[in-house]
A and B are shown apart, each in its own frame.
Chain A
Amino acid sequence: MWRDALLVAGKDLRVEWRSRVGLNQVVPFALAVLLLFGLALGPDAARLRAATSGLFWVTVLLAALLGVQRSFALESADRAGDGLRLSGLDAGGIFVGKAAALGFQLLVLEAVLALVAALLYGTPLEGVGVLAASCVLATAGLAAVGTFYGALAAGTRVRETLLPLLFFPVVAPVLLAATKAWSAALGRSGGGGVGWLALLAVFAAAYVAIGTVAFGPLLEDS
């Protein structure tokens, strides 16, 4: 299964590296969102600083949605998904591989966004350990849920509108926990940082496990 996961993740990352859709479209989109938030809440520096962690994570959520759509647009174009199904790779491996590729891209995006948010909103990045850990754990959860619902919506004609409706309510706890962990690390709220990390870990573990088990039947259907 792990070998299959590596193969699929490598494939998705190679496609991204050659097409650079994420780099040329999703990253600039996320930067535009950060700017728009600044316009909506600024130019009051104190307010922007207080809201940094929430704005950052909402932006990540929006970008993650685009990432998921891109990840499954790859499979539906030229019926590549049929090839994937016929390849004989383990379904759980395909799930882990696609989620890992998506998660890796999101992590790169988050690194860029964090720096830009720190600059734009005037928030010095403190507690880098907690910031990074919450990014890794939250991204694992987002990637797992996103891959799962991406596959669910992929075969349908209304996938662009259905996916956000399914995806966002489910990842609400990720937004909450990651925002609070960031606020704690940035010194915007007292304590609880490690607890929120634990919650993120539980969420990620639960959805990676479910996705690995349930992906087989989903893949057959779409």
Chain B
Amino acid sequence: MSVASHPVEAVALTGRALAPARGARIASACGLVGLVGVVLTVWLGLWVTPPDAYMGNLVRLLYIHPSMAWDAFLAYGVSFLASAAYLWPRTRDLRLDRVAGASAEAGVVFTGITLVTGSLWGRPTWGVWWTWDPLLTTTALLFVLYLGYLALRRLPGEPEVRARRSAIAALVAFIDVPIVYFSVSWWRSLHQGPTIQPGRSEVHGSMAWTLLLSFVAFSLVYVWMLAERYRLAGLQARDEVEGLADALAERRAEAGMSRAGEAS
């Protein structure tokens, strides 16, 4: 209805949506290269690389678990920087808020995968699904901290209010991370339980290359996810602003038609 009543605007809208910006093209390229990299990693990791002398086939988790953890911390780092930049008055921009939200969302996904793959790896090598290691505990807490952050972001409200609230919450949550890490490591050092050491394995040759490839591939996938989520957030923001105007225009047009019908 609104398309018919505002042909010029409709063309402008679809035109903007259809013409891919340079950033979107770069993001798509990242996604494509990343996808090829992931396929290669899977092939190299499952078929080409040899099983480890100590861990056997379990070592193949090496090609997914560390890169997932790296992606998670990278994503949280980006989210933190974007939040801090948003709070800084000179760089305040709602686009930074969208980057922070998009990156945190990707980070939560990667943290979830990190925890699951780490647990799957821990069971056969350490004999337990979970251990209260500082890194593990901090990662698990990060997961719930950022789930809370995402819940906060999902609340309805004015974009500026939401952005500021989320940015402050992100900073406060981020400060907690070193405190948690420090306190848990100290706790562990005081209460020496059965210490679990990961098996020392030599990583070289095709294994090292595959590991490196997995880092690059999954980092590219992260960049692509971030870009796509960021674009989607922009569209959602536009829908919030323009959706109401469109709906109003539609209702007005309907009212106008029915009145015209009565008159004739």
Q: Which residues in A have some Cβ–Cβ distance to B below 8 Å? A: 148-149, 152-153, 156-158, 162, 165-166, 168-170, 172-173, 176-177, 180, 189-192, 195, 199, 202-203, 206-207, 210, 214, 217-218, 221
Inter-chain contact B183/A210, CB cutoff 8 Å: no
B interface secondary structure, majority: helix
Per the 8 Å Cβ criterion, residues 97-156 of B in contact with A are 141, 144-145, 147-148, 151-152, 155
Query: Which residue of B152, B184, B190 is within 8 Å of A152 (Cβ)?
Result: B152
Interface size on B, residues (CB 8 A): 28
Q: A170-B176, A180-B187 are in contact. Are A218 and B147 (CB under 8 A)?
A: no
B161 and A221 within 8 A (CB): yes
Given A165-B144, A180-B190, check contact A217 B168 (CB 8 Å): yes
- Are B141 and A172 neighbours in the complex by a CB distance under 8 Å? yes
Residues of A within 8 A of B155 (CB): 156-158, 162
Chain B 170-194 interface mask (CB, 8 Å, partner A; 1/0): 0111011001101110110011000
B164, CB-defined interface residue at 8 Å: yes
Chain A residues near B145 (CB, 8 Å)?
A: 169-170
Question: Is B169's CB within 8 Å of the partner chain A?
Answer: yes
Give the tally of cross-chain contacts (CB within 8 A): 77
Q: Which residues of A contact B176 (CB under 8 A)?
A: 169-170, 172-173
- Across the two chains, which residue of chain B brings its CB closest to A153? B152
Contact B148 A195 (CB under 8 A): no
How long is the Cα–Cα vector from A158 to B191 in the complex, in angstroms?
39
| Closest B residue to A176 using CB positions | B183
Let me know if B183 and A162 touch, CB within 8 A.
no
- Which of A168, A173, A176, A202 counts the most chain B CB atoms within 10 A? A173
Contacting residues, chain A, for B171 (C-beta < 8 A)? 210, 214
Min Cβ gap B176→A in Å is 5
**By the criterion CB–CB under 8 Å, are B164 and A206 in contact?**
no
Residues of B within 8 A of A214 (CB): 168, 171-172
A166 and B169 contact, Cβ closer than 8 Å, known pairs A173-B180, A203-B179, A217-B164:
yes
Bound-state CA distance A180–B144 (Å) is 23
Q: A162-B148, A172-B141, A195-B186 are in contact. Are A218 and B168 (CB under 8 A)?
A: yes
Partner of A177, one of B161, B165, B172, B183: B183
User: CB-CB < 8 A to A149: which residues of B?
Assistant: 169
Of A156, A192, A202, A210, which is within 8 A of B190 by CB? Answer: A192
- Would you give the shortest CB distance from A157 to chain B, in whole angstroms? 8
